[in-house]
Structure 1
């Protein structure tokens, strides 16, 4: 049974989310502050975090930055902030998805299930590891290493990396990447894809190699 950590200080919203998740056979953990959420996260095996931003004590942004130092657990931000800059900032800082309050509970469930599809999506390879140049990916632990250094990728970044590694000769358009990684029709602006590619490119550049090539007018591909 998958475990979802709900970090939300509004009792009504918290209860709605919790009751719905329990009804759909998820195990839930409840926190009403960022500090409480951090403690529960460290003490339990958590599969997905639902994170409010405006929290007492440690706020949602601080919580996200803290866990991203050591974890790639999927984080869905659930916030009333609906401006594009706030959304892009949180996605840049490691959030895997962002849903705006008030939300449709069915949409929230769909976004949670998308995170699980990312985590369990099988590789086209029959091995437990992928090796490409200096990159090593353990498909069981989802650990990504370049030489002897471990990279801390978000769920989206990891999914994009696998897409490139499994198709190293292919050029992907932004729509291709979005539809493969988000598992839904491409409707977002190019900013979202560009931001995730930029973040992934910077993390991979730890050994001085620019692994992701921009193919102008088309999209992106891995360097040969």
Structure 2
């Protein structure tokens, strides 16, 4: 079963999450500060991180920035901050999902299952690598390379790129992408999709190549 790192300094919320996860068969690790969480991240095999933003020692934003240089494992931010700009900024900087406090435990568990499903969906595939021109993905390590140089993607960006590489030339609507990657019904999520596509384009930026084509009035395709 997956191991989840809980980074939350509120004892009551931390205990609630820990109990719910363990009752549902997950292994848990506990951190009550950003520095403690970073130490556990470096020492243990972790499959998903639940990250509060207002942490002592090292705040959640700084922690997220540091680990995104090393891993693509899913990170779900759980925060009392509920303004749209904060959510978009966190998703842009590497979070895979964002849940606002107070939250429903059942919703948290559902989001965890979705993220873990995305993270392991290629593990049963016989292929070990996908290669498309000068882009390669190692399906075991989730390592993405462009011209043999590692590029660091968020979990969502990785899932979108994998969707494109597995279906080159196919045109995807925004609803297609959202329902495939987020695994939930599409509802007025153009802004979210556009943000992730823009980030992915920037990370795949080459002087003479724009892999992700906009098909006006329809969506996107990888060419």
User: What is the CA distance between 1:141 and its match in structure 2?
Assistant: 1.5
The SS at the match of 1:172 is strand
Aligned residue number for residue 218 of structure 2 = 218
Pick closer, same or farther for the CA change 1:207–1:44 going to 2, 3 Å.
Answer: farther
Q: CA RMSD in A?
A: 1.5
Q: Which digits, 9 at most, give the CA deviation of each residue in 1:118-138, with x for residues without a partner? A: 012248975221111101111
Say which is worse superposed, 123-132 or 168-177, in terms of deviation.
Answer: 123-132
Say which is worse superposed, 44-53 or 123-132, in terms of deviation.
Answer: 123-132
Alignment check: 8 A CA contact 1:169 1:222 kept: yes
Aligned residue number for residue 11 of structure 1 = 11
Q: Which digits, 9 at most, give the CA deviation of each residue in 1:124-179, with x for residues without a partner? A: 97522111110111111111111220111111111101110111111111111000
Aligned residue number for residue 64 of structure 2 = 64
Check if 1:172 corresponds to 2:172. yes
**In structure 2, what is the Cα distance between the partners aligned to 1:183 and 1:164?**
16
Alignment check: 8 A CA contact 1:129 1:136 kept: yes
**In structure 2, what is the Cα distance between the partners aligned to 1:9 and 1:188?**
34
**In structure 2, what is the Cα distance between the partners aligned to 1:162 and 1:123?**
13
Q: Which digits, 9 at most, give the CA deviation of each residue in 1:6-44, with x for residues without a partner? A: 000100000000001111111111011111111111111
Alignment check: 8 A CA contact 2:123 2:140 kept: no
Aligned residue number for residue 52 of structure 1 = 52
**In structure 2, what is the Cα distance between the partners aligned to 1:198 and 1:157?**
10
Q: Which digits, 9 at most, give the CA deviation of each residue in 1:59-115, with x for residues without a partner? A: 000110010111111100000111110000000000000001000000000000001
**In structure 1, what is the Cα distance between the partners aligned to 2:208 and 2:8?**
41
Count residues with an aligned counterpart: 223
Alignment check: 8 A CA contact 1:8 1:33 kept: yes
Normalised to the residue count of structure 1, the TM-score between the two structures is 0.95
Alignment check: 8 A CA contact 1:146 1:206 kept: no
**In structure 2, what is the Cα distance between the partners aligned to 1:48 and 1:206?**
31
**In structure 2, what is the Cα distance between the partners aligned to 1:214 and 1:47?**
34
**In structure 1, what is the Cα distance between the partners aligned to 2:175 and 2:14?**
34
Check if 1:25 corresponds to 2:18. no
Alignment check: 8 A CA contact 1:35 1:57 kept: yes
Check if 1:79 corresponds to 2:79. yes
**In structure 1, what is the Cα distance between the partners aligned to 2:124 and 2:31?**
38
